[in-house]
Amino acid sequence: MKHDISKALFARAQERIPGGVNSPVRAFRGVGGTPVFFREAHGAWLTDVDGNRYLDFVGSWGPMILGHSHPAVLGAVSEALKKATSFGAPHAGEVEMAELLCSIVPSVEKVRLVSSGTEATLAAIRLARGATGRPCILKFEGCYHGHADSFLVKAGSGVETLGLPDSPGVPEALARLTLTEPYNDLPAVERLFEQRGREIACAIIEPVVGNMGLLAPKEGYLKGLEALCRKHGVLLILDEVMTGFRVARGGAQELYGVKPDLTTFGKVIGGGLPVGAYGGRRELMAHIAPEGPVYQAGTLSGNPLAVAAGMACLKALGEPGVYERLERASAAIEQVLREEARAAGIPVTFNRVGSMWTLFFCEGPVYDYRSAKKADTGRFGRFFHAMLEAGVYLPPSQFEAAFVSLAHGDAELEHLRRAARTAFTSLG
Ligand SMILES: *Cc1c(COP(=O)(O)O)cnc(C)c1O
């Protein structure tokens, strides 16, 4: 495969964009080499600027659950485009989207639209602090909640891959208000709440973690966390930016039967355009301006093009059997990768919840930050590049989830098998 045009673009990009990319994990720092620049994407396939084609398992990091350039999304955006690109004033689409979100996720009674997942989580913790009058937040090691100051403490893949445990520029005084505990460890939370529960406004968690590779919650973990939060008056925020409308139509809270106080969304709800949202119990959301005093605003919030794309995506996901289809495709992908790894004698741990998965290059189980760190990142890097060469685009980090879309069918599965056979064999 030739990458001449990508390489030339990357050289130019590095002159004018920090690290040559607009988001760190795109930079291949976790796997070595130069990032691929893309030109087009249709269905499950990407075409780069040099004309190479790849089967895509990044899916723009989650939003492209229908596959790329889905006709329903393209159609909705081009219809919206004929009318306006932005009002900075209310429009009907926002109301429809709020109603749809609330109808699919029962814990969400009122919702505010924003333009990214980062904005949603940032607003949700401000709301939690404003509503409880408590200063601290609890997050979990390796969970990523966007790049707001309070969250850049033990913050998962992007930060992890670069080997920056924390970010300069985050004041210590603020970082001290962010408490962390390991994921999947309820006794640790219990001890913390006994000691400092009254200082803690909220616990925020990725219910299924995607940002240190895919980690599933242990049996009873999320329900246990919910109960501990109730007991200590700590608000529970499920960060469903990645899992919302992905692991089930109603997100991880539907899958695991958890009722959070607040939920954050992003990724899938924009259908590939910038939409985020946060919502929850009516009386909590009443603290948000202008209904209440907790301030949060956005010039492009509820943008009509973004909302049209998001609505088209959510409606397509409402068709019968969609999540069953996604599960079947994902299970088949898991089986192929397990079989090819075994045939080549490569020890791996395959974690998967629905259409999110990670192939860890280590013996399992992998269920928290510490066990994820055992993975052989050098071997992952070699596997990544062998797959890329064979026409499969994986997340360029061992500590990121891969995503399956509804456009991943039988032909894609066969392509994956051939690529995986070559790639695993090359590791031997
Ligand atoms: C991607 C992600 C975010 C941040 O969303 P952006 O749109 O990138 O700002 C927050 N939380 C989780 C769980 C995510 O996966």
Q: Tens digit of pLDDT for each residue in 352-383?
A: 999 999 999 999 999 999 999 999 999 999 99
Q: What percentage of residues in the chain have a pLDDT greater than 90?
A: 93
* Phi and psi torsions of 282, nearest 5°: -50, -50
- Average of per-residue pLDDT across 104-111: 98
Residue 316 C-alpha to ligand 1 middle, in angstroms? 22
Q: Which of 26, 242, 399, when mutated, tests ligand 1's pocket best, judged by the most ligand atoms within 8 Å of its CB?
A: 242
The band of 403, judged by pLDDT with boundaries at 50, 70 and 90, is very high
Angle between helices 322-344 and 304-317 (to 10 degrees): 80
Task: Answer yes or no: is pLDDT of 161 > 70.
Answer: no
Interstrand relation of 110-114 and 38-42 (parallel, antiparallel or unpaired): unpaired
d(CA 36, CA 56): 12
Identified catalytic residue from 144, 278, 369, 393: 144
d(CA 157, CA 203): 20
- Average of per-residue pLDDT across 74-87: 98
d(CA 177, CA 190): 18
Instruction: Report which of 405, 387, 407 is spatially closest to residue 337, judged by C-alpha positions.
Output: 387
- Average of per-residue pLDDT across 205-212: 96
Collapsing DSSP states into helix, strand and coil, what is residue 402?
A: strand
Task: Answer yes or no: is pLDDT of 54 > 80.
Answer: yes
For the beta carbon of residue 174, count every other beta carbon within 10 angstroms.
Answer: 13
d(CA 97, CA 313): 11
Q: Which of 143, 238, 241, when mutated, tests ligand 1's pocket best, judged by the most ligand atoms within 8 Å of its CB?
A: 241
Interstrand relation of 392-393 and 53-56 (parallel, antiparallel or unpaired): parallel
Cis peptide before 217 (omega within 30 of 0): no
Task: Answer yes or no: is pLDDT of 7 > 80.
Answer: yes
pLDDT higher at 294 or 171: 294
- Average of per-residue pLDDT across 106-118: 98
- Cα angle for residues 244, 245, 246 (degrees, 5° grid): 85
pLDDT in the model for residue 164:
46
Q: Is 315 a catalytic residue?
A: no
Task: Answer yes or no: is pLDDT of 173 > 90.
Answer: no
Instruction: Report which of 110, 332, 365 is spatially closest to residue 217, judged by C-alpha positions.
Output: 365
* Share in percent of the chain as helix, strand, coil (round to 5): 45, 15, 40
HSE at residue 221, side-chain half, CA atoms within 13 A, is 22
Task: Give the end-to-end CA distance of the chain in Å, rounded to a whole number.
Answer: 22
Q: Is 50 a catalytic residue?
A: no
Task: Answer yes or no: is pLDDT of 156 > 70.
Answer: no
The verdict on the CB of residue 117 being under 6 Å from ligand 1 is yes
Domain 4-69+320-427 adopts which CATH fold? Aspartate Aminotransferase, domain 1 (3.90.1150)
d(CA 352, CA 20): 32
pLDDT in the model for residue 168:
86
- Average of per-residue pLDDT across 32-42: 97
d(CA 364, CA 342): 14
Domain 71-317 has CATH 3.40.640.10: yes
d(CA 250, CA 246): 8
The band of 157, judged by pLDDT with boundaries at 50, 70 and 90, is low
DSSP state of 24: G
What's at 260, amino acid-wise? P
Task: Answer yes or no: is pLDDT of 399 > 70.
Answer: yes
Instruction: Report which of 64, 46, 63 is spatially closest to residue 55, judged by C-alpha positions.
Output: 46
d(CA 280, CA 131): 13
Task: Answer yes or no: is pLDDT of 172 > 90.
Answer: no
- Average of per-residue pLDDT across 101-126: 98
The token duo for 51 is 């004309």
Partners of 356 in beta bridges: 353, 403
Q: Is 54 a catalytic residue?
A: no
In the chain, where the domains are located: 4-69+320-427, 71-317
Taking a C-beta distance cutoff of 8 angstroms, is the pair 125, 202 a contact? yes
pLDDT in the model for residue 163:
44
d(CA 295, CA 415): 50
pLDDT in the model for residue 162:
46
Lowest mean pLDDT among 142-151, 340-349, 398-407: 142-151
Task: Answer yes or no: is pLDDT of 109 > 80.
Answer: yes
Identified catalytic residue from 183, 267, 323, 368: 267
Give the predicted TM-score (pTM) of the model.
0.96
